Chain A
Amino acid sequence: MGGTAPVVDMQGISIAFPGVRALDGVDFRLFPGEVHALLGENGAGKSTLIKALTGVYAIDDGTITVLGARTSFGTPAEAQASGISTVYQEVNLCPNLSVEENILLGREPRRRGAIHWREVRRKAEEVLDQLQLGHIDPRSVLSSHSIAIQQLVAIARAMQIEARVLILDEPTSSLDADEVQQLFSVIRTLRDRGVAILFVSHFLEQVYEVSDRMTVLRNGRLVGEYLTAELPRMGLISKMIGKELDALAELEEAESRRQPDRTDQTLFLQAEGLGRKGSVQEVTFTVHDGEILGLAGLLGSGRTETARLLFGADRADQGQLTIRGTSRALRSPRSAIDRGIAFSSENRKEEGLIGDLSVRDNLILALQAGKGWWRRVPRATQDELADRYIKALDIRPSGKDTLIRDLSGGNQQKVLLARWLITDPRLLILDEPTRGIDIGAKTQIQKLISSLAADGMSVIFISAELEEVLRISDRIAVLKDRRMVADIPNDNITMEDVMTVIAGTNA
């Protein structure tokens, strides 16, 4: 590929959002006729990079060259006009319209002002045939098809515009095996016709199967660009997960209290083959009092789904859950909370914060919810609790009446933690409690978790940073492809050991 010029060349791209440096001097090249995988964990900057390329975000620094010309697209439509089309995970088509319309919407051939429907059909059939998708009836309504077919239709639309660059953002996350193969055959057809394809996926098998080259990002920075054939799985995983250098310094001081065997303690919770159709399967583990169970696995492996099942946010339809020796079916978060389970979501903004309420109101929300609306937590108790937890967790600013949306991410996270601590739960499930917050708050939270467990509280700890999971947990449950695949005591095991499990036996 050395001879050809890249169709897309991004140099030194930086984008900062308030408080976050989403991209920091990232270079990225895309050549015609290649499938290029973009890899990284959550928050690595993959989607920001794509949005920078397609004109959704303005870049703060750097240059974007498309087909030899420096560009900066103002809107996705402009990018599309220059031959860059994107197919998103959540299909961005109109489900209420027919397949043929979705392919040609906005560019329908017309005759005397009216849409020339026969010509619409001919063109749609033409492009579907080119992609070997002739079996799709162009007149059928889009929503009558599976997500896989809808994605293929989206690709057909992109091809109808004669895209030079096709960006596929997590296209396979909701497809089954046959559908993935169908998608891949279309991808190969397009590659052979010289289309440059940018492929984002968290399924490493698929990346290895279809891509020619890969670019790895971590924390908004470029880790490197590699030929797929030359980078083994283990190497890739360690580049994706990596070691956070800043955290390393703190590592010494937060020395581990790991205690892999806690079976002498009382059993709190036992999951046996717990699962939910379309969510996660075969979750089997136990949690004892004072134990920290880490959930490890790549993005999309079913970490969050497991937590939601244990909290009753989603109802399990397989397996059994036993809490304190009694079999329970958790029908709602309320029923889980009543059994002493608390859950802090990875999605702080959507699933945690009540943004327009004060720190105080946010702190006592779960406690108040438990008491019902009539028995208000007395003001004096509110103040006392708020003061105590603001001090204990070092929440800044220390004003109880500050709106929580005005706090930084780390302090918001501490408030959400305190919300649950006030209810004195038996099991605290923490989904990515340290993501996107600064290093100071991060170590504070890690220490807090350890001390809570030392006081007898059970914790399920979820993090994309394997190193963090290893440092904190007593035992580690490993998830892969939405199944639990291993339960390992954290007994002198290394990151490599866990990565080997994640990478699978054929690594």
Chain B
Amino acid sequence: MSALLRHRLTWPVLALVLLLLLNQLFRADFLSVRVQDGHLYGSLIDILRNGAPTILIALGMTLVIASRGIDLSVGAVAAIAGAVSCMYIYSSPEPASLQTAATGVAIAVVAGLALGAWNGFLVSVIGIQPIIATLVLMTAGRGLAQLVTDGQIISVSNDSYQAIGAGYFLGLPISILIAAAAFGITGLLTRRTALGTLIESVGINPVASRLSGLDARTITWTVYVFSGLCAAVAGLMISSNVTAADANNAGLYIEMDAILAVVIGGTSLAGGRYSLVGTLVGALIIQTLTTTVYTLGVPPEATLVFKALVVIIVCLLQSSRARTLLSRRRRPVTEPSRPKVAA
């Protein structure tokens, strides 16, 4: 039992369950999922579908944060990805064909990879602090997206493209399936290979990692490229869902949501051990929170207030170290930590 209480996923999961129950209290049909036209419907499905872009971006963000970094540019990258694909489809001679949609998606993915590589270059090769390096693209990115769309909201009508964000497959929204697949692949890629452990090593102790022969530069670069990829796919989802590219508002503040999801999921902003499941739970908490606010009849825009409160509470909980420091601050933390097991 006490082991269960100490597990770092216990509290996020508990919070998620409480939020869901709270909703059920106010709306009796909240937890029910019904089948209509062969598709699944219900609030839970909505939460998953609306949360899919955040989940995707948070996956990339988890690995970036685990490596001691941060990626502020994901919102801008999502906007650019939506812009380039929509623009391609819009200006193509066959705007409705599957092939056009596929090419548009491919262009967006390449753009995401390239932008991620740019961030990774600034961080790992030039050696600029991650928060500052990605700030550049965060600032310029939406301008670039507007440049692509010429400042217009580009609407496209392509059924294949629309399917990414709004379509169904086997009764489930495709965006949920994409997010689930991304989650699964990320999990496999990091835990079936050594990538996850190596990212954690670099995040926990870069010096020791280098002295053990790790190529920290390549690993750092990889996580930013991956983050760019996730952001691009999320951007496709967002623009496909509304069948339009909105350079200004697509993915606005999504970097904040993603960071928040990672932190709620128990991955420390200081880098190191990460939990993809935790991030998933964190993203779902954020999405459910939005829904809850709506259910409670508060203006939906006020969700931000609740998000702020959640950030503050989570941070205070995580900084329990600060409290122990206060009680025994005479012993600086640089001293040898207490060995729990005798030799």
Contacts and interface: CB of A to CB of B under 8 A. Distances in A.
B205 A369 contact: no
A337 B194 contact: no
A107 interface: no
Nearest to B194: A376
B192 interface: yes
Contact of B214 (A58, A355, A365, A437): A365
Given A365-B201, A373-B195, A408 B343 contact: yes
Q: Which of A58, A74, A313, A356 gathers most chain B CB within 10 Å?
A: A356
B213 A354 contact: no
Contacts of B330: 57-58, 74
Interface size grouping (class) on chain B? 35 or more
Q: Which of A58, A311, A343, A373 gathers most chain B CB within 10 Å?
A: A373
A385 interface: no
Interface size grouping (class) on chain A? 35 or more
Contact of A370 (B213, B331, B332, B337): B213
A18 B209 contact: no
B194 A18 contact: no
A208 B339 CA distance: 40
Given A352-B208, A354-B204, A356-B204, A337 B213 contact: yes
Nearest to A332: B210
B197 interface: yes
Contacts of A374: 193-195
Contact of B212 (A17, A58, A369): A369
Contacts of A402: 341
Contacts of A278: none
Contacts of B222: 373
Given A56-B332, A368-B194, A370-B213, A354 B338 contact: no
B211 A355 contact: no
A413 to B, nearest CB: 10
B213 A353 contact: no
A419 interface: yes
Interface in B112-126: none
Nearest to A338: B213
Contacts of A371: 194
Contacts of A18: 335-339
A455 B198 CA distance: 31
Interface in A395-447: 396-397, 402, 405-411, 419, 437-438, 440-441
Contact of A19 (B198, B212, B338): B338
Interface in A342-372: 343, 345, 349-357, 361, 365-366, 368-372
B211 A352 contact: yes
A369 B204 CA distance: 15
Contacts of B94: none
A7 interface: no
B219 interface: yes
Contacts of A377: 194
Interface of B: 192-195, 197-198, 200-201, 204-205, 207-215, 219, 222, 272-273, 330-332, 335-343
Interface of A: 17-20, 56-58, 74, 311, 313, 332-334, 337, 343, 345, 349-357, 361, 365-366, 368-377, 396-397, 402, 405-411, 419, 437-438, 440-441
In the complex, the 6 A-B pairs of residues with the closest C-beta atoms, listed nearest first: A18-B338, A369-B213, A408-B339, A376-B194, A408-B343, A337-B213
